[in-house]
Amino acid sequence: MLLVALILAPALAALGAALPARRAGRLAWLLAGTALHAALLVATWVTGPAAAAGGWLAFDPLGGLVLSLVSVLTVGVATYTVGFVRPGDPRAGRAFESCLLAFLAAASLVAVSHHLGLLWVGIEATTLATAPLIYQRDDPHSLEAVWKYLVVCSVGIALALLGTFFLATAQVVGGVAGRPLVLDDLMRHGAGLHKAWVRAAFLFLAVGFGTKMGLAPLHTWLPDAHGEAPAPVSALLSGALLNCAFLGVLRAFQVANAAGEADFARPVLLGLGLLSLVVAAVFVVRQDNYKRLLAYSSVEHMGILALGSGMGGLAIYGSLLHMLGSSIAKAVLFLLAGNIVAAYGSKLVQDVQGVVRRLPVSGVLFLLAFLAITGSPPFVPFMSELAILTGAFRSGHAVLAVAMLALQAVVFIGMGSAFLGMSLGASPERGPPIRERAWQVAAPAVLMTVLLVLGLHIPAPLQRALAAAAGSLGGVGGGP
Amino acid sequence: MTQISDFLLLAIVLVNFALLGATRLSTMIRAVAVQGGLLGLLPLVLHGGPSLHAVGLAVGTVAIKGVILPRFLTWAIREAALRREVEPRIGFVGSLLLGVVAMAVAFAVAARLPLPPELARPLLVPVALATVMVGFLILTTRAKAVTQVVGYLALENGIYLFGLTLTEQVPFLVEIGVLLDVFVGVFIMGIVVFHINRAFDSLDAEQLAQLKD
* pLDDT score recorded for residue A34: 96
- Comparing A443 with A286, which gets the higher pLDDT? A443
Q: Does B155 touch chain A (CB under 8 A)?
A: yes
Average pLDDT (A228-245) is 93
Instruction: Please enumerate in sequence order all residues whose Cβ is within 8 A of that of B147, keeping only pairs 6 or more positions apart, or say none.
Output: B25, B28, B86, B138
Q: What Rg, from alpha-carbon coordinates, does chain A have?
A: 21
A202 near A256, Cβ under 8 Å? yes
Q: Which of A120, A135, A147 sits opposite B145 (nearest CB)?
A: A147
Which of A302-311, B109-118, B138-147 reaches the highest mean pLDDT? A302-311
Identify whether the C-beta of residue B70 lies closer than 8 Å to the C-beta of residue B95.
no
Please indicate if any CB of chain B lies within 8 Å of the CB of A141: yes
Q: How far is B196 from chain A (nearest CA, A)?
A: 7
Please tell me the predicted confidence (pLDDT) of residue A214: 92
Q: What is the pLDDT averaged over residues B18-28?
A: 90
| CB within 8 Å of A400: residues ≥ 6 apart | A270, A274, A307, A311, A392
Does pLDDT of A91 surpass 50?
Answer: no
Q: Is residue A236 part of a domain?
A: no
Helix axes A314-344, A380-394, angle to 10 degrees: 150
Q: What percent of chain B has pLDDT over 70?
A: 85
Coil, strand or helix at A113: strand
Q: What pLDDT score does B44 carry? A: 85
Residues 6+ apart with CB under 8 A from B60: B40, B176, B179
Distances (CA, A) of B57 to B43, B99, B167, B172, B209: 7, 29, 10, 8, 39
Residue B174 in contact with residue A115, Cβ under 8 Å? Answer: yes
| Residue of A120, A181, A196 with shortest CB distance to B169 | A181
Per-residue pLDDT reduced to its tens digit, B152-209: 999 999 998 888 888 777 777 778 778 888 888 888 888 888 777 776 655 556 666 6
Backbone angles phi, psi at A337, to 5 degrees: -60, -35
Lowest-pLDDT range of A338-347, A373-382, B21-30, B109-118 = B109-118
Number of domains chain A contains: 1
Under a CB-based contact definition with an 8 Å cutoff, are residues A324 and A308 in contact? no
pLDDT at A435: 81
pLDDT at A138 over 70: no
Q: A387, A314 in Cβ contact below 8 A?
A: yes
Lowest mean pLDDT among A67-81, A172-186, A436-450, B43-57: B43-57
Q: Rounded to whole angstroms, how far apart are CA atoms A382 and A393?
A: 17
- Domain assignment present for A347: yes
Q: Which pLDDT tens digit goes with each residue over A369-415?
A: 999 999 988 999 999 999 999 999 998 899 999 999 999 999 999 99
- Given a cut of 50, is residue A453 above it in pLDDT? yes
CB pairs under 8 A between A and B: 123
A144 and B188 in contact by Cβ < 8 A?
A: no
How far apart are alpha carbons A124 and A352 in whole angstroms? Answer: 37
- Chain A: give the shortest CA distance to residue B188, in Å: 8
ipTM passes above 0.85:
yes
Residue A15 pLDDT exceeds 80: yes
Q: How many CB atoms lie within 10 A of CB A472?
A: 17
- Omega before A428 within 30 of 0, i.e. cis: no
Q: Judged by CB atoms within 8 Å, which residues 161-200 of B form the interface with A?
A: 162-163, 165-166, 168-171, 173-174, 177-178, 180-181, 184-185, 188-189, 192, 195-196, 199-200
pLDDT of residue A90 exceeding 60, the answer is: no
Q: What angle do CA A400, A405, A410 make, to 5 degrees?
A: 125
Averaged confidence pLDDT in chain B:
84
Query: Would you say the C-alpha torsion A282, A150, B126, B29 has a positive or negative sign?
Result: negative
- Average of per-residue pLDDT across A257-276: 94
B178–chain A nearest CA distance, Å: 6
Q: According to the model, what pLDDT value does residue B202 have? A: 52
pLDDT of A92 over the 60 cut: no
Please provide the average confidence, as pLDDT, over all residues in chain A.
Answer: 90
pLDDT digits (tens, 9 = 90+) for B72-116: 988 888 877 666 677 788 888 999 999 999 999 999 988 888 877
The backbone torsions φ and ψ at residue B208, rounded to the nearest 5 degrees and listed phi first, read: -85, 55
Is the previous residue joined to A132 through a cis bond, with omega within 30 degrees of 0?
A: no
Q: What is the mean pLDDT of residues B57-65?
A: 90
- CB of B81 within 8 Å of a chain A CB? The answer is no
Instruction: Find the Cα–Cα–Cα–Cα dihedral B108, B110, B111, B112, rounded to 10°.
Output: 90
Region B140-159: what's the mean pLDDT? 89
Q: Read off the DSSP letter of residue A54.
A: T
DSSP code string of A161-204: HHHHHHHHHHHHHHT--S-TTBHHHHHHTGGGS-HHHHHHHHHH
The answer to whether the Cβ–Cβ distance between B155 and A171 falls below 8 Å is: no
What pLDDT score does A480 carry?
Answer: 42
Q: Domain locations in chain B? A: 2-207
- The answer for A 285-314 residues in CB contact with B (under 8 A) is 287, 292
Helix axes A438-456, A360-373, angle to 10 degrees: 30
Task: Select the residue from A150, A179, A226 to test the B interface by mutation, using most B Cβ atoms within 10 A.
Answer: A150
Look at residue A27 and tell me whether its pLDDT is greater than 80: yes
Calculate mean pLDDT across residues A326-346: 92
Three-class SS state of A259: coil
What mean pLDDT do residues A62-89 have? 87
The answer to whether the Cβ–Cβ distance between A118 and B177 falls below 8 Å is yes
Instruction: Tell me: pLDDT of B34 over 90.
Output: yes
Min Cα separation B37/chain A (Å): 20
Mean pLDDT of B56-81: 87
B208, closest residue in chain A (CA to CA): A144
CA distance linking residue B102 with residue B112, whole number of Å: 16
Return the ∠ at Cα B95 (arms to B89 and B101), rounded to 5°. 140
pLDDT of residue A86: 64
Phi-psi region of A49 (alpha: psi -120 to 50; beta: other; left: phi over 0): beta
A264 pLDDT band, cuts 50/70/90, is very high
Query: Can you give the C-alpha Rg of chain B in angstroms?
Result: 17
Cβ contact, residue pair A158, B211, below 8 Å: no
CA distance A77 to A31: 10
Q: What pTM, to 2 d.p., does this model score?
A: 0.93
Taking contacts as CB-CB distances below 8 angstroms, the residues of chain B near A175 are: 116
Out of A147, A162, A180, whose CB is closest to B159? A162
Give the separation between CA B48 and CA A333, rounded to whole angstroms. 58
The stretch A286-298 carries a mean pLDDT of 92
The helix/strand/coil state of A336 is: helix
Which residue type is seen at A260? Answer: G
> DSSP per residue over A198-249, as a string?
HHHHHHHHHHHHHHHHT-TTS-THHHHHHHHS-HHHHHHIIIIIHHHHHHHH
Predicted confidence (pLDDT) at residue A146 exceeds the cutoff of 60? yes
Percent of chain A with pLDDT over 70: 96
Alpha carbons within 13 A on the beta-carbon side of B114: 15
How far, in Å, CA of A430 to CA of A424, rounded? 14
Residue A351: domain span: 308-480
- Mean pLDDT in residue range A235-248: 95
